Structure formats: C-alpha cells, structure tokens
A and B are shown apart, each in its own frame.
Chain A
Amino acid sequence: MPDIRKVVEIPINMGPAHPATHGVLRLKLKLDGEIVKEITPVIGYLHRGIEKIAETKTYPQFIPYTDRLDYVGSMIYNHGYVKGVEELLGIEVPERAEYLRVMMAELSRIASHLIWLSAWGLDLGAMAPFFYCFREREEVLNLFEMICGARITFSYMRIGGVSKDMPEGFAERLQRFLDIFPEKIDEYEALLTENEIFLARTVGIGRLSREEAIDYGVTGPVARASGLNYDIRKIEPYSVYDRFDFRIPVENGGDVYSRYLVRMEEMRQSTRIVQQALDGIPEGDIMAKVPKKIKPPAGVVYSRVEGSKGEVGYLIISDGSDKPYRIKIRSPAYCNLSALPAMCKDAKIADLVATVGSIDICLGEMDR
C-alpha cells in the first residue's frame, strides 16, 4: 500500500501553449498542491536560427531580421545593430538621424511597456488595462506607420542613418500624443496602483535581491526594480541621449510591484525624452555618406543599447568581407528569465504567473 502521508508532487507542463506564458515559453513545474516546488524553463520553440542566418546575409540585409527579434519594440533592436555596424565602419551619423532614432526608440519603449502592462494585467485577472493600453499603443503604431509605412517590423534604421524623414503632419500628431499620454498613464495607474487586490497580488511577490540580480546578469526594469541603477542610456550614453534631461527610476522592493512602478515611470520619462527630441531636432540630412558596398574592416565590436526589457547587445565580428563572420545577440529577456527559479521559491501558481509576466519576456528574442 502506498504511504498516503507522503506528499506527491504533480509534474505539470505550463506551456508551450498556455495563456500566461506570453508566446511559446514552456515551464516544467512540480506542484505540491498550489505550491510550485520546482521550475525548469524550456525555450527554443520559436528558434529560427537568426544568428546563423546573419552569417549568410550582407550587413544591410540583416536589418529586417533584427525587427523580428523583439517584435513589440523592434526600433531599439534596429538601433543596436546599425550602431554596431557604424562603429565598425567608423561612420558619423547626422544629428537629425540620431534625434529621429532616439524618438523612435523611446516610442518603441512606450509601445513595448504598454503591451507588457496589458498582458500582465490580464495575467492578474484585470481586463480593463488591456483595452486602455491598446488604445494608446494604436496611436504609437499609427505614428510609426506614418514615418516608415510599417506598424510592427519597421527596418527604419539604416546603416548611416534612418530610411525616411518625418512626413508632413507627423510632428503635430506626435505632439498631440505626447500631450495626452501622461494623463493616460494616470488612468492606468488609477485602475491598479492603489488597488487593494492589486497590492495583495504584487507586493512582496517574486522577490529578487540586488545581489541575486547582479549574479544572474539581470538588466533592464527588472534590475532597476531590485535597486540596481543600471541603464545604458546613462552609464554609457550612446546616440544623443546625453543631451536630454531624464531620470532613471529605481525601486528597492525587488518584487513585481516595484517592476510595475519602474515601468510606469519609464513610460513617463520616455515621453519626456521624445518631447525634448521633438523640440530640439536640428535640420539636416538623415543619411550619412555610406559606401555602396558595406565592407567593414576586420574587427570585433560589441554594441549595446537599452532595450525595453534590458541590455540589448550585438557582438559583431567582421572578417573584412561584406557579410559578418559572426553575430551574437545578447537577449535581455533570456538573461532575466534565468532568474525566474530564484524569484519563485515555493511560490503559488498564481504568483508564478504574476512573476513570469513581470519579467516581460518576448520569445522572439529569447529563442532568436
């Protein structure tokens, strides 16, 4: 007869098709009732071999692939790549192009955070933020469509500049968006920030200490929520970020609530950056003089930018030909997810869902 007092752990597969795993993440869980005893993330369901494809493409040909890494904030991934190639080539990018890049990257960050907030709200059972966030994201996508014709996969940034200048009416429309957006953030916050149920579900959940965050190589809002003041826009200013006045929000809670607060404040700060960029954008070219055939000299460059999820890095190795010898992409969500078992020690299932959501994963860039 089996010993009925012995706790039987139920093995259960969360994903790859599960509404709370945001794509095709699979979590192998061992459950003791409601309590999660063991978590093993399994990735690779969206693996497309993008890094290998890079070796068969010329440098400009690879730009569309960077769109498909993190499909909710692709401008930033464009930026990181072209910045790396420009460093290899030693190209000076025109100022107007840099301003446009910063504006687009920050709008991309806003769009990405809005997607995160809406999906995470659904994870917690709150339906309304989803629709509210998508309303504003729609306007951001409309702006993207105006400037480059695409809504998701932009390929807007090119080696040496950007593909198109602001069309007529764009600045006014962007200004209208910037005027209303802070009020809209207040609206989301009114639904969640002070809500007792929301606080009960988020405060103290999925805690990651500062030391653990450093150990796991966590970056982005997750790291900043653990008290780590680490933002590449400040510690290693690239493009024209050093000209803008903005604040990096840091929280010390380390829980999912702190991550929420950090991202909400980041949206406000991004709005400020876009506003300053829009006000101060200089006249001029949007493309530098780039040779017809891009053949960077042999060498290695590591180009990093601050993505919506953390540090986006491209290690580009050139052998002097028109195709990269090797491209390695540092995916922030991949590194952040590695801290998940540390965040969810003996958590409940519902807390696990809240924590996975708070990391803000995107399988497109994790699996590459």
Chain B
Amino acid sequence: MTRTMYDSLVGILEHLGVYQTLQVLIPEPLLKILLIFLIAGLVATAGSLILAYLTWLERKVLSDIQQRCGPMRTGYHGLLQPIADGIKLLVKEDIHPKAIDRWVFLLAPIVMFVPVVVILALVPFGRTLVMTDLKVGLVFLLAVSSLPTLGIMMASWAQNNKYAVLAGLRRAAEIISYEVSMVLAAVGVVLIAGTFSLPGIVEAQRGLPYIILQPLGFVIFFIGILADLGRIPFDFPESESELVAGYNLEYSGMKFSFFFLAEYLELFVAAGIITTLYLGGWNGPLLPSWLWFGIKTFAVIWVIIWIRATLPRFRIDQLLDIGWKWLLPLALLNIAITGGVLAVI
C-alpha cells in the first residue's frame, strides 16, 4: 500500500501519542495545514541538502574519472566544500549591468528554480514517502518540467548580451525537438501501467521494471532528459567554449547560483523520474523502499555524470536532427508497438 507523507506523519505522531494532544489543542483544518507545511519544509530542506551534495558528488566522480582528487581541503575529502561554495556565492557582489531588463533579470532565476521544486513534490521517494499523489501526475510533471526553459530564455533576453541571446535561441530551438519525443516515449509507460499517477506507475512495476518492457522508450526518454538537463553531450545553452558561459553570462552572486541550484535539483529530480518510470521506483527485495529509490536514483545520476566526463558535445543542429528524424519516429513506433502488443494480449 502506498501512503502519502501526510498519512505517514500522522501515523508517526499517533504512534508517539502526540497527535491526540495536538488535535485537542489546534482545530482540525489548521492542524492539517500546519502538518503539510511541515512536510513541505522537510522535503525542501532534504532537497537542498541533496542538491548541495550533488555538486560535491559530481566533482568527486568527475575527478575520479579524470585522475585527480577533486575537493580535498575543506573537511574530510572536501565534504564541507558545498557549504564553503554556498557562503562564497552568498557574499559575492551582485552585479547588475546597466543595459539589463531589470524585472526580467530579477525574475528569471526564480522562474527557473520554482518549477523544479514543484516537481520535487511529485516524486515518489518511497512506499510511505509520497508527498502528493496526483491522478494526472505524469502529465503535470511533463508540463511543469518544461517551465525552467522559460527562465533560461528570460535570463538570456534580459541580459542584453549577444552570446546570452544566442544561448536562449538555442534553448528555444532544441526544447521543441526533444520534448515532443520525450512525452511520446512516456506514453508507452502509461499504456502499460494504465495510470498517470506516479505512485500508481511504480506499483504497476512490482513484478518487472519497465526498462525491460520499454527499452526503446527508455533510451528516448533518457536522451530527452539529458537534453532537458542541458548536460554534455547536449549542453548547448551553456557551452562554454562557444558561448563563453551561455545564458547566465552576466549573472553573479546568488542569482547565478540559483541557476546552478536549479540545474542540480533538476538533475536529482530527473534521475528520480527515470527511476520512477522505468527502473521500478521503490520496488526491490529486502531493503526498505526509500533506500531502493535512493540507490537507483544515484545510479542514474552517476551514469549522467559519467557521460559528462567522457563524451564530447554535439552541435545544435545535430540535436535537432536527432530529435526530429530519429527520436520522434522511434517514439511513435514505440507507441504503436506497445499499443499493438497490448491489444493482442
């Protein structure tokens, strides 16, 4: 049985005998709102901790592959490095160039960051750790996940910098090419599971993870996620050797770091979604469900970092080619095959 985090929390409180007292002290609807805020705070805190240490993990994995040590000085094997980075970014001067579009410039990091946090609410972390179970979870998720692109385009336009504008235009061009096929690839999963709800999809994979039933869909979805994350081999909006730094060229201090926080949180969320849709989510023998989710998610993250360490970058028009000429027809083929097989069975 899946339980939402709210149910779990109430269960724990009841077990401790606190809930009954609270019920007497605080009126029911208010208590519910308070508890939900508590959960949101907990998830956001956990999320930001995870993303802080994702930066550390990425640096460590990259340096391991590239025969160096990575951060070593701050704390044991650089464990305090993310905190040091955070402090550095907080105290950095926040520079506003003269010719910027002020409001768009201020809003862009927020527009980029918020949708990613929203998606975090949808990811089923464990059997008893579901924050929200939307009936249209997958549709909502895919819709919200394309919003950060808006933030990138706003940022690129607001800075009034030619390199940044080029980066924004690249982003706008590429998102259409891969997002369509990504959504179509996810349709295969929905067809088999018979539900849009993410916990429902995980429950349906109790016997067999969908990566075995949907290998083609998995590959398409994974490529789409790589492009969505803007990571090598598809890091066109911020390809530093071509566009200097891309869409966040003129940003500094905390605004700049918001883009990076959003990117790393997106990495975690995207890996979580791949785990949910194709790797069987929290399902697994022996270990507790949240641990299985964690193991699978970090395995996906590791693969993504590994790809970054190894591969060169595509050219933007090559991604468009891949998106329209290969991924889209293959995604349609995937739907046709899945539907056909389901109809026969």
Contact = CB atoms under 8 A, between A and B. Distances in A.
B310 interface: yes
A135 B67 contact: yes
B158 interface: no
B316 A197 contact: no
B21 to A, nearest CB: 57
B239 interface: yes
Interface stretch (B107-115, B240-248, B265-273): B240-248
A131 B308 CA distance: 14
Contact of A126 (B170, B242, B311): B311
Nearest to A199: B312
A128 B65 contact: yes
A20 B239 CA distance: 11
B100 interface: no
Interface string B295-330: 000000000000011111111111000000000000
B226 to A, nearest CB: 12
A81 to B, nearest CB: 34
Contacts of B98: none
B310 A191 contact: yes
A198 B241 contact: no
Contact of A121 (B162, B243, B312): B312
A348 interface: yes
Given A20-B241, A353-B242, A200 B66 contact: no
Q: Which of A201, A350, A351 has the most CB of B within 10 A?
A: A350
Contacts of A130: 66
Interface in B164-192: 166, 169-170
A168 B226 CA distance: 53
Interface residues of A, number: 32
A351 B315 contact: yes
A123 B62 contact: no
Interface string A184-212: 00000001100101101100000000000
A18 B235 CA distance: 18
Contact of A125 (B67, B162, B239): B239
A33 interface: yes
Contacts of A191: 310
A200 B62 contact: no
B315 A350 contact: yes
Nearest to A12: B162
A240 interface: no
A106 to B, nearest CB: 25
Contacts of A348: 315-317
Given A127-B66, A197-B233, A122 B317 contact: no
Contacts of A19: 240-241, 244
B116 interface: no
A123 B313 CA distance: 9
- B contact residues, range: 20 to 34
Contacts of B313: 124-126, 197, 201, 350
Given A12-B162, A197-B311, A125 B68 contact: no
B232 interface: yes
A131 B311 CA distance: 14
B314 A200 contact: yes
Interface in A9-32: 10, 12, 18-20, 31
B284 to A, nearest CB: 32
A43 interface: no
A128 B318 CA distance: 22
Contact of A128 (B309, B316, B317): B309
Contacts of A12: 162-163
B67 A132 contact: yes
A128 B310 contact: yes
B312 A125 contact: yes
Q: Which of B166, B242, B312 has the most CB of A within 10 A?
A: B312
A201 B315 contact: yes
A28 B261 CA distance: 35
A195 to B, nearest CB: 7
A28 to B, nearest CB: 13
Contact of B242 (A192, A197, A350): A350
Given A349-B166, A353-B241, A353-B242, A127 B316 contact: no
B314 to A, nearest CB: 6
A207 to B, nearest CB: 16
Contacts of B242: 20, 349-350, 353
12 contacts: A18-B244, A19-B244, A20-B241, A20-B242, A34-B316, A123-B241, A124-B312, A125-B241, A126-B311, A197-B313, A197-B314, A349-B242
Given A19-B244, A121-B312, 9 more contacts: A19-B241, A31-B166, A125-B232, A125-B311, A125-B313, A132-B66, A195-B311, A201-B318, A353-B241
Which 10 pairs, one residue from A and one from B, show the smallest C-beta to C-beta distance?
A: A125-B313, A131-B66, A126-B312, A124-B312, A20-B241, A350-B315, A123-B241, A125-B312, A12-B162, A353-B242
